[in-house]
Structures are given as structure tokens and as C-alpha cells.
Amino acid sequence: MEYVTLNNGVKMPILGYGVYQVDPAECERCVLDAIKTGYRSIDTAQAYYNEEGVGQAISKCGLPREELFVTTKVWISNAGYEKAKVSIEESLRKLKTDYIDLLLIHQPFNDYYGTYRAMEEAYREGKIRAIGVSNFYPDRLIDLCHFVEVAPAVNQVETHVFNQQAGARETMEKYKVQHESWGPFAEGRKDFFTNQTLNEIGAKYGKTAAQTALRYMIQKNIVVIPKSVHIERMAQNFDVFDFALDHFDMQRIAALDERESAFFSHYDPETVEFLTGLVK
């Protein structure tokens, strides 16, 4: 496993297992399979409704807690200092752990400054090893960085070969915020798995399009958290550390960047109305 070092010195696996859209009834089994495969970083969220499954897997896997890196996220409905404090304790309970390795603000809406203050407090109390954000575009990330006491360690944003976030990445690097990808396969959109460039390059190394895309982001020092409910695919996604893309192949994949979301924009009023409307 390769690691990145966050701005507070905490080491984080560059490859993890994400449980977005994993059925809560299946989550425990999936996480146990992922840990068995070799994953040590697990990414969940309050809004995924499967923190309990992750917690069950953590308690049953047989590994010392310190060998695992667990991420969860505070949802919009739990925003604000008081609500966030309560939700952090609830996440700790559901995850069956005394501490969370990385806690993120899930969306840049509602009172996220109040949320961040609660996270800073929990960080100082040792309940969280690192804090950060998710889906923060450069403008909001810069604003936050200037007015908090504990700098965000991570920003998890949509990142895949068709939306590589070059501009946002420059801002993250400037403020020493680690770039983390959600949706590294674009959830199969844009014919991701049959993309000619990815498959041609993958064939050169004896790898799939998915493995090639993951390796590309790992070589760009982007943390990735692919998700699968099948142990065979989990193993395939994990098998990306025995090869390296050469400069020419990196350039070819860089050229796939369309510089726009495959899903939605947080600047789009309809998207914002939809996300904020979820808490009513």
C-alpha cells in the first residue's frame, strides 16, 4: 500500500474502499471482504445509512483498530455546532470506535462553519485524527481555509479521467489540502469501462480500464476510494501497485479530461435546491 501524509502528519492510504450506495444489509459483509482483500481505509457517511455495517465489520475483522483508517461525513441535516456535536457522537457509536480517522463536511451547505467548529473541538479532544471537507469548490475552500483554526486536511470531490479537477487541484495544493476522489469510475458513465484509450493503455500493462484509471490518479497523488460489492472486483481494484504508467500514457489519459461534471454542479441552483431540500 502507498500512503499520503496529510497536513497534520497523519498518514492515509492512497487507496481505500468506499461504501456509497452499499445496501446497509450488505455493508458488513462487503467491508469484511474488502478488509480480507487488503483494504485498510474505509469511507462511509452519515447519509449512506450504513455506518453501523462498517462498525460491525470493524469490530469483527480481527485487526487492531490502529491498522484501519475510517472516514465518515457530517450530513447537511446535522449542520451547525450543536447538531454536529451530537452527530459526531452518534457516528462514533455506530462505528463502534473511540475515534474517527477522518471526518468530512459532506456538502458545502447549511451552517458548515458551525459544523467545522464542532469538528475542530472533537479533533482537539482526540475523537478525530484529521478533519476536512467534501464537495467544496475552490471559492468555498479558500474562504474556509482563511477563517478556521485547524486547516482542512482533505477535500473529497468528484474526480475521474473525464473530470480531473486540474484547477481545483491547484487551489488544494496551494492550501496544502489533500485531493481525494469520489466517483473514480464516474459510476460507469460516458462509457467509462469501454473507453478505447483506457483499454489500449491497460492492455499494454495487462490491466483493465478500471485499474488503469485508478493507477493514473494514484500517480497524480490523488486518494481514491473505488466501490464494489463483489470481492473479485475489490481484488482487481486493489491490484494497482505492481505497475506504473509511463509519461506518454499519463499524457494520453490527461487528454481525456472534459473539465466538467459527469453528475451535477454545486453551482447549479436546481442542484442546490435539491440537496438543501433533502433536510426539510
Residue 48 annotated to the active site: yes
User: Which uninterrupted H or E stretch holds 226?
Assistant: none
Q: What is the CATH number of the domain that holds 149?
A: 3.20.20.100
280: pLDDT strictly greater than 80: no
Which residues are CB-neighbours of 271 under 8 A, at least 6 positions away? Answer: 264, 265
Number of neighbours of residue 75 by Cβ within 10 angstroms: 21
Q: Is the dihedral of CA 258, 259, 264, 270 positive or negative?
A: negative
Question: Does 230 belong to an annotated binding site?
Answer: no
Confidence of residue 278 (pLDDT cuts 50, 70, 90): confident
Give the structural domain span for 228: 3-277
Residue 247: per-residue pLDDT:
98
pLDDT in tens, 131-167: 999 999 999 999 999 999 999 999 999 999 999 999 9
Q: Is 228 helix (H, G, I), strand (E, B) or coil?
A: coil
Confidence check: pLDDT of 15 > 70: yes
pLDDT-derived band at 261 (thresholds 50, 70, 90) equals: very high
List the Cα angle 246/212/24 in 5-degree steps: 150
The C-alpha atoms of residue 196 and residue 202 are separated, in whole angstroms, by 10
β-bridge mates for residue 100, sequence order? 128
**What size, in residues, is the chain?**
280
> Against a cut of 0.95, is the pTM above it?
yes
Name the catalytic one among 17, 39, 48, 216: 48
pLDDT at 101 over 70: yes
- Whole-angstrom distance, CA of residue 47 vs CA of residue 137: 20
For the record, the C-alpha cell of 27 comes out as 455493508
Count of domains in the chain? 1
Which whole number is the average pLDDT over 31-41?
A: 98
